[in-house]
Amino acid sequence: MVQQRSKLNPLADLVDMAIYVYHQFSDVPLDMKVQQVLDGTHLVNHFDQAPKVIESRPTESGVQLIWSLPPGLDTKDFDSRRLAIEQQTGTIVKIELGKNGAVVVMTLYRAKFPKEIPFNFNLKDYPDMMAPLPIGKDPAGKLIVVDLAEVYHILCGGATGYGKTSELFVFVVSLLLAGCKVSAIDKKAIDFPLLEDYINVAQDEESALKILKSHLKEKEIRAAQLREAKVQKIQKLKGKMRYQVLIMDEATGIENEESHGIIKTLVREARAGGIGLIITTQKPSANTWKGFTDVRSNLSGRICYYCNGDANDSQVILGKGNSRGAELPAIAGRCVWKWQTEEVLQSMFLDAEKAIQILEANNVPKRGASKSEITEQRKNRIPT
Ligand SMILES: Nc1ncnc2c1ncn2[C@@H]1O[C@H](COP(=O)(O)OP(=O)(O)OP(=O)(O)O)[C@@H](O)[C@H]1O
Ligand SMILES: [Mg+2]
């Protein structure tokens, strides 16, 4: 294409070269570069009105730009230019709607992620969360922590060997430190059995079904307790009811149809009673098991690790039209976190050995501990 054009107009090559040199070597401020991308991709509404920068706030790792939002445009219009902005500016970009609407907040991070971030989580910083989950650090080094009691259920996907199980270990430790009850289904039976002193682990179809049935029963017991207390959400019973989490590592490997049915019911009905599901899989496509697409649509939080540059896989994990997972570099722990906003994070790395060390150092009660031991631990839950 370029060759063809240069034959017709050699001047065009010179212009391209001049633009390239200008971008590479001139000290154009980030906001101007972004403006050029938006102008170049003709981001305007039907009245030909373009967004304008109304505030530019320098940050330690880049800049935050506040854009006016002309009528008819929305954050998706900015999202569709995000990759171009990232490539033109050499930054990582987060785009979100301003708190009061009508503006778009665009954060550009110049900083690079460290290669490996060790587990470091202080529960005391999140006193209001029932089930805190540290998803990962943003490029500025800020740890993003969400409450599973607010997110409800999470789907985590991505190619083999890029950090799904490590992330689950981070979650297990954080949840146990916070006094939640955690169980896991791990049909591969390699990783989670190592944590069996602390959590109930199913390694085969039969015990997976057993765990799922016990969660179904627990859901019904909890629904009755909520009715009795005349409240709709477990948050209202904070301190009285323990948050419970069921983790399924490579959930597509669960074969039993009865289990599939229970998973479907749990993702539909269990959240109010304080039961959250976290499901990982390499490929969460429709042809895994019947009904899996229904399950997937009820998993509101999404974590997408590197997916071999496959835009289709990224869309299955992050939603229709979202190829961001395919744009990730092939780096273990690098992921896209999508819930109320969307951002690129580096998750903390944790293996079973270190997880056990942390649990031991914090006197987290082992399985089968007495009620008084659990109460004592919850009173003194200060992670080291
Ligand atoms: N957050 C991280 N930071 C740095 N390295 C990581 C991180 N998570 C995982 N790794 C590296 O990647 C390897 C594989 O991670 P993990 O077992 O979590 O992958 P996975 O996605 O669960 O793979 P599979 O789908 O095969 O189960 C780890 O042994 C570790 O070397
Ligand atoms: Mg794994």
DSSP letter string, 207-247: HHHHHHHHHHHHHHHHHHHHHHHT-SSGGGGTTTS--EEEE
Ligand in closest contact with the CA of 335: 1
- How much distance in Å is there from the Cα of 168 to the middle of ligand 2? 9
The pLDDT value recorded for residue 22 is 64
Q: Is the CB of 252 under 6 A from ligand 1?
A: no
**Domain range 117-379, its CATH number among 2.102.10.10, 3.50.50.60, 3.40.50.300, 2.40.37.20:** 3.40.50.300
Residues forming beta bridges with residue 145, ordered by sequence position: 134
One fold for 2-109 and 117-379: no
The pLDDT value recorded for residue 329 is 92
- How much distance in Å is there from the Cα of 184 to the middle of ligand 2? 13
The pLDDT value recorded for residue 330 is 94
Q: Where are the domains of the chain?
A: 2-109, 117-379
Per-residue pLDDT of 186-207, as tens digits, reads 998 889 999 999 999 999 999 9
Ligand in closest contact with the CA of 161: 1
Residue nearest to atom 9 of ligand 1 (CA): 163
Q: Is the CB of 190 under 6 A from ligand 1?
A: no
Ligand in closest contact with the CA of 167: 1
Residue 234 · residue 222 · CB < 8 Å: yes
Residue 161 CA to residue 237 CA, distance in Å, equals 39
Question: Where does residue 160 fall: left (phi above 0), alpha (psi -120 to 50 degrees), or beta otherwise?
Answer: beta
pLDDT by position in tens, the chain (length 384): 444 444 567 777 777 676 666 655 567 788 889 999 999 999 999 999 999 999 999 999 999 999 999 999 999 999 999 999 999 999 999 999 998 778 999 999 997 899 899 999 999 999 999 999 999 999 999 999 999 999 999 999 999 999 999 999 999 999 999 999 999 999 988 899 999 999 999 999 999 999 999 999 999 999 888 888 888 877 777 777 889 999 999 888 899 999 999 999 999 999 988 999 999 999 877 677 888 889 999 999 999 999 998 999 999 999 988 999 999 999 999 999 999 999 999 999 999 999 999 999 999 999 876 767 666 665 555 443
- How much distance in Å is there from the Cα of 243 to the middle of ligand 2? 24
Tell me the CATH architecture of domain 2-109: 2-Layer Sandwich (3.30)
DSSP 8-state symbol, 291: T
Distance of CA 348 to the CA centre of its chain: 13
- How much distance in Å is there from the Cα of 331 to the middle of ligand 1? 10
Q: Is the CB of 337 under 6 A from ligand 1?
A: no
- How much distance in Å is there from the Cα of 301 to the middle of ligand 1? 20
- How much distance in Å is there from the Cα of 110 to the middle of ligand 2? 31
Residue 227 · residue 259 · CB < 8 Å: no
Please count the residues of the chain.
384
Q: How far is CA 1 from CA 4, 6, 42, 83, in A?
A: 5, 9, 22, 22
The pLDDT value recorded for residue 372 is 73
Closest atom of ligand 1 relative to the 346 alpha carbon: 1
Residue 157 · residue 303 · CB < 8 Å: yes
Q: Is the CB of 171 under 6 A from ligand 1?
A: no
Q: Is the CB of 114 under 6 A from ligand 1?
A: no
Strands 200-202 and 117-118: unpaired
Task: Tell me the whole-structure pTM to 2 decimals.
Answer: 0.88
Q: Is the CB of 122 under 6 A from ligand 1?
A: no
Residue 210 · residue 246 · CB < 8 Å: no
Q: Is the CB of 161 under 6 A from ligand 1?
A: yes
